[in-house]
Structure 1
Amino acid sequence: MYHSVGDCSDDPYRITVTPGRLDAQLGWLRRRGLRGVSLGELLAARARGEGRDLVGLTFDDGYADFVEHALPVLRRRGCGATLFVLPGRLGGVNAWDPLGPRKPLLTADGIRRAAAEGVEIGSHGLTHVDLTRADDATLRAEVARSRALLTELTGTPVAGFCYPYGTVDRRAADAVRDAGYTYGCAIDPGPLTGPYALPRVHVGQRDTAVRLLLKTRLHRLRRRAAEGI
């Protein structure tokens, strides 16, 4: 689970990695015989009983620096990824982060460019709200409306959803399923773990080879495996 790729000198939430660090992390995967791919590709491979050499790479929030900094690294390393974006904030900023800094988000053209490069586009909701606290109307808009807007924008049905803040409950997971998505990403969904609440592990600037190795091992111990995946 990645977020922003760029300057991390002012990064209170530790959501940013530099392009050099991302390149080193993807290189670490490659040296271990692994390849980063989109969640859609990973899940399709697992459904065929394959894909043990694949790792799903996700980038949350749809920062504009994805196109400038992440895409070249992904291309160089022969990796794919899923980019979760906010169609209600196209060309805006990460206003949900009270401490800042303010980072620009992708425009519609930026999302289309990423999609044209083979990046899977998924929804992160309309505006980045905690769905476990949303009323029914807001939940429908954040989940179903965002999918409709992104399908129109990219010309491709949107398969994946990512819960803002990683928070999910049964009501939110059911809304994602009912809206037509085929999977949903969380962080540590516990007993909800499954196709609509996939666990992920955060990767940041401080994650060197040793830390990545520890995280892969701790992930298996701390988080339930999604059945059939």
Structure 2
Amino acid sequence: MYHSVADRTDDPYQVTVSPGRLERQLGWLRRRGLAGVSMAQLLRARAEGRGARLVGLTFDDGYADFNEAAVPLLHRYGFTATVYVLPGRLGGENEWDSPGPRKSLLTEDGIRLAAEAGMEVGSHGLRHIDLTAADDETLAAETARSRALLQDITGTEVTGFCYPYGTVDERVIGAVRDAGYTYAVGIDPGPLTGLFALPRIHVGENDTDLRLHLKWRLHRWRRQPVPYAAPYEPERARP
């Protein structure tokens, strides 16, 4: 789980990794025979029994620096990733991180560029709010409306959702399923862990080779394992 890729200045929420550090981390994966892929690729491979050496790379919030700094490095290593974006804040800033440095978010054109570069585009909701505190109307917009907007922008089906702040409950999971997504990622969803609440490991500027090794090895003990499940397919209306 990454966020912004840029030279670090003030970073109280530890959401920024420098391009140099990201390159070293991608190199660490390559040296161990691991390949970084999007979450959609990882889940397809896992369903086919061939996901053992794949690592899902995700970038939350849809920062503009994803195209500028992350994509060239991913291409250099032959990797892909998923970027979770906010269609309700196109070209805006990360106003939810206050206090903290302001970072530009992807525009509509930027989202298209990410998709054209071979990256998976997923939804992070509309405006980055805690969905567990949202009323039913807002929750429907943050899930279903954001998916519709992104599909209009990219011209492709959007299958992945990322819970803002990692907060999730059964009601929110139900809304994500009903909106037509096939999977969703969280951070540490505990007993809710599953295809619609996949756990992730935060990776930041301080993660050296040794720290990455420890996180990789300890992940299975720190996070509840995800049992195999075929990708969810929404029920289709009969003609």
Q: Deviation of residue 64 (structure 1)?
A: 0.3
In structure 1, give the amino acid aligned to 2:77: R
Alignment of 1:73 with 2:110, yes or no, is no
Matched residues in 2 for 1:120 and 1:97: separation?
25
Structure 1 portions without partners, runs of 5+: none
In structure 2, give the amino acid aligned to 1:219: H
Deviation readout 1:143-175 (Å, 9 max, x if unpaired): 000000000000001000000001111111111
Matched residues in 2 for 1:21 and 1:9: separation?
14
Alignment of 1:153 with 2:153, yes or no, is yes
Matched residues in 2 for 1:7 and 1:61: separation?
17
Please name the residue that 2:237 is paired with: none
Please name the residue that 1:24 is paired with: 24
Deviation readout 1:74-103 (Å, 9 max, x if unpaired): 000110000000000000000001112000
In structure 2, give the amino acid aligned to 1:150: L
In structure 2, give the amino acid aligned to 1:6: A
Q: Tell me the TM-score normalised to structure 2 length.
A: 0.95
Matched residues in 1 for 2:131 and 2:192: separation?
15
In structure 2, give the amino acid aligned to 1:91: G
Matched residues in 2 for 1:146 and 1:218: separation?
34
Matched residues in 2 for 1:218 and 1:158: separation?
31
Q: Deviation of residue 200 (structure 1)?
A: 0.2
TM alignment of 1:95-114, pairs within 5 A: 95-114=95-114
TM alignment of 1:93-172, pairs within 5 A: 93-172=93-172
2:83 is paired with a residue whose SS is strand
Matched residues in 2 for 1:80 and 1:119: separation?
6
Please name the residue that 1:190 is paired with: 190
Please name the residue that 2:34 is paired with: 34
Structure 2 portions without partners, runs of 5+: 230-239
In structure 2, give the amino acid aligned to 1:35: A
Q: Which runs of 4+ in 1 moved over 6 A?
A: none
Q: Tell me the TM-score normalised to structure 1 length.
A: 0.99
Matched residues in 1 for 2:97 and 2:13: separation?
9
In structure 1, give the amino acid aligned to 2:216: T
In structure 2, give the amino acid aligned to 1:20: G
Q: Deviation of residue 217 (structure 1)?
A: 2.1
Identity among equivalent positions (%) equals 69
Matched residues in 2 for 1:218 and 1:44: separation?
24
In structure 2, give the amino acid aligned to 1:23: E
Please name the residue that 1:57 is paired with: 57
Matched residues in 2 for 1:99 and 1:209: separation?
30
Matched residues in 1 for 2:170 and 2:76: separation?
39
1:55 is paired with a residue whose SS is strand
Matched residues in 1 for 2:116 and 2:26: separation?
21
Matched residues in 1 for 2:79 and 2:167: separation?
27
Q: Deviation of residue 218 (structure 1)?
A: 2.2
In structure 1, give the amino acid aligned to 2:220: R
Matched residues in 2 for 1:182 and 1:8: separation?
35
Matched residues in 1 for 2:134 and 2:201: separation?
25
Alignment of 1:222 with 2:219, yes or no, is no
2:55 is paired with a residue whose SS is strand
